[in-house]
Amino acid sequence: MKLYWDIVNDEFVAGLTSAQKIASLAWRLRDTIYVDLYLVQPVDSATASYELVDPPAGWTPAFCAKLVLDGDPLATQEIWVRSDVGTYSGTIGLYGATLIAAVTEDSLDITGEFTLQDVSGNNRDSSQFVLTIDKDVLRADDSDPAAGALQRSAICTQVTIDGHKVLVLGNSDGVVYQRIWPPGVTPTI
């Protein structure tokens, strides 16, 4: 999925030459969303054109989705790989136990937010949007009689625990295998 984020106006647009604003997205429960995130700024309002732009040095994107703004995250992604000017890629997993439990109807509207975090981890520029999570059909316990049970996906993500960036290794069922703490830090959990 390609997302064009106008970081000047805190909104999403349909492309580098489009005036169309994107106010909502729909994703499927238990999917992994592969995102190409493009940071853009307006060049010419008459032609609705944008150009790729880098954030200030040391700033990186982050993503979070919540049902209640002061509640627990239902989906996050803090690791974004820069590949070119204003161009990042990352994966957002929609298979956490809290998110799965929250989707009790055919779909659930939650708030998604992309933000730029400065070198201290503070949110600086943020854009929110409606994120609809549609219930999935194929479940983890479903199987193809010819192929056997579905395989679980390995997950690696970075989280902040007590102010420390911690690498977490686990699977798509939310089982944590290992937490890798920075050198010299005593684990707190």
Is 150 in contact with 44 (CB distance < 8 Å)?
no
Six-digit token string for 127? 């854009």
Q: For residue 170, what pLDDT is reported?
A: 75
pLDDT in tens, 150-187: 555 667 777 777 777 877 777 766 677 777 778 888 77
pLDDT of residue 42: 94
Question: For the purposes of burial, counting CB atoms within 10 Å of the CB of 118, is it exposed (0-12), middle (13-18) or buried (19 or more)?
Answer: middle
Predicted confidence at residue 172, as pLDDT, reads 63
Query: Can you tell me the distance from the alpha carbon of 15 to that of 21, in angstroms, rounded to the nearest whole number?
Result: 9
Please state which architecture CATH assigns to domain 2-135: Sandwich (2.60)
**Helix, strand or coil for residue 97?**
helix
pLDDT, one tens digit per residue, over 53-90 is 999 999 999 999 999 988 899 999 988 999 999 999 99
**If you ran DSSP here, which 8-state letter would residue 173 be given?**
T
Of 71, 117, 61, 119, residue with least CA distance to 91: 61
Over the stretch 28-45, which tens digit does the pLDDT of each residue have? 999 999 999 999 999 987
* pLDDT at residue 141, rounded to an integer: 57
The tokens for 1 are 């999925």
Cβ neighbourhood burial of 141 (10 Å; 0-12, 13-18, 19+): exposed
Residue 132 tokens read as: 């609809």
Q: Give CA 66 to chain center in angstroms.
A: 11
| CATH 2.60.40.2550 residue spans of the chain | 2-135
Q: What is the pTM of this model?
A: 0.73
- The SS3 assignment for 119 reads coil
Strand, coil or helix: 166: strand
Main-chain phi, psi angles of 99, to 5 degrees: -65, -45
